[in-house]
Amino acid sequence: MKYLNSFNKQLRFFRDAHRLSSGDIAELCNVDVSVVKSWEADAEQSRTYPSLENLLDLCFKSGSSLEYFIDIPKDENFKQLELPGLQFAIDESDLAETLNKLDKELEKIIPVEQEAELLKRFRKSNEQNRELIMQLINK
């Protein structure tokens, strides 16, 4: 985990500083206590890492910053994290601008309220009604 090399130490330090138990962290992240203990494991072979959802839960619910838990390179040329699944154009170095573009693209594919209601009703209908709906659409 490229950005989580020191996560186990940071999490342990965070818990100690805020007087939280492994159970408290487990509750914040909706995981079992054994999962939190494996996040904090000293031995690399037995250490696991939180999912992005777990990490964000921890940050939002504890009021801490993401930067506290992840390793951000100190390199002057470093501009942004490499996020798997997101590809950035060479000329786009601003993450906010890229996220705005992503948001606009998502708005195009997320159904509006009427479309969502239509989809729900279509899914709940029987096969005969679905065929009738499809015939209406194809006219």
- The predicted-structure confidence for 37-95, as pLDDT tens digits, reads as follows 999 999 888 899 998 888 888 988 988 888 888 877 666 565 555 555 455 444 555 66
CB 30 within 8 A of CB 57: yes
Task: Say yes or no to pLDDT of 13 above 90.
Answer: yes
For the domain covering 7-69, report its CATH number: 1.10.260.40
pLDDT in tens, 80-137: 555 554 554 445 556 677 777 777 777 777 777 888 888 888 888 899 988 888 888 8
Query: Which among 76, 73, 70, 97 has a CA at the least distance from the CA of 86?
Result: 97
Structure-block tokens of residue 83: 């996020």
Residue extents of the structural domains in the chain: 7-69, 86-139
